Amino acid sequence: MTAQLISGTEIAKQIREELRQEIEQLKAKHNLVPGLVTVLVGADPASHVYVGQKEKTSKDLGIYSERYDLSEKTTQKELIDLVNKLNNDPRIHGILVQMPLPKHLNEAEVLFAINPKKDVDGFHPVNVGKLMIGEPDYLPCTPAGIQQLLIRSGIKIEGAEVVVVGRSNIVGKPIANILLQKGKGANATVTVCHTGTRDIAFHTRRADILIVAAGRPKAVTGDMVKEGVVVIDVGVNEIGKTAEGKRILVGDVDFDAVKEKAKAITPVPGGVGPMTITMLMLNTVKAAKFAAGLS
């Protein structure tokens, strides 16, 4: 068996086209332009790339976009003051403070300062709590993208044995909560494995759907999965560079071995990655509709 490739690039393109049409309708019918601001503190190269991609996608879809590039020496008070200013700006519906922040800044305090209605990353405790009880305003972007990959690829989630490898607040915990909810595109039986799990392979071999966010390359090998599994590989690991200096990226799954047993699998790159920014745009549109009383 050779697995079907689940292309995040193609599915993200479909969702963005749907969003583009919705944004055009909001502008035409309600004079409403969704607005997203990104705040970047310091000079982390990866963060600059991510923020640039978010800014480019916003403009492409017709979302009003602002960007703040702050010095590495920005104080906690200066950053909180900026967040409060953006909370009160009616043009801005979504606020994204790019993580990680420099070590002298308190990330939790910054996150808590964002108005939950403008927290389009879905990480504010209010939004995490709403997710837990099955009444979310916004789903965290990467887990939401994973769910859409499964739904739009025709993968049956209801009743499935889902195993999540990794328990981060960004991916593992929220995707487990999303897929165990009683509702469409969920209603699965979910097991979460982590560094304290005694025999991870015992659990991964039972998975109908395996979601891997372990944070290390090839953490899941071919002997750890059953025939016909659906694999979502969240990991992005640089393992070297080509002679031309291009980064060599692999996931948290041994792709070549696992694809021979899997029914479907996401590639790295081109799998989960493109979905994350797309779901951020979707949340920004939702936030604009909330603010206008349209949702």
Quote the tokens at residue 8.
């995040």
Q: Please indicate whether residue 89 is annotated as part of the active site.
A: no
Helices of type H across 94-140: 107-113, 125-132
Closest CA to 90 of 29, 40, 33, 138: 33
CA distance 295 to 293: 6
Contact 259, 295 (CB under 8 A): no
Q: Rounded to 5 degrees, what are φ and ψ at 74?
A: -55, 135
Q: How far is CA 44 from CA 49, 89, 105, in A?
A: 9, 27, 15
Q: Which of 54, 117, 118, 218 is catalytic?
A: 54
CA distance 164 to 172: 6
Q: Please indicate whether residue 223 is annotated as part of the active site.
A: no
CA distance 193 to 168: 11
Closest CA to 4 of 129, 149, 122: 149
CA distance 96 to 280: 9
Q: Please indicate whether residue 121 is annotated as part of the active site.
A: yes
CA distance 57 to 65: 10
Q: Which of 98, 147, 148, 181 is catalytic?
A: 98
Closest CA to 143 of 211, 88, 218: 211
Give the count of beta carbons closer than 10 Å to the beta carbon of residue 160.
19
Contact 95, 39 (CB under 8 A): yes
Q: Which of 117, 118, 119, 121 is catalytic?
A: 121
* Alpha carbon 133 to its chain's center: 20
Q: Which residues are catalytic?
A: 54, 98, 121
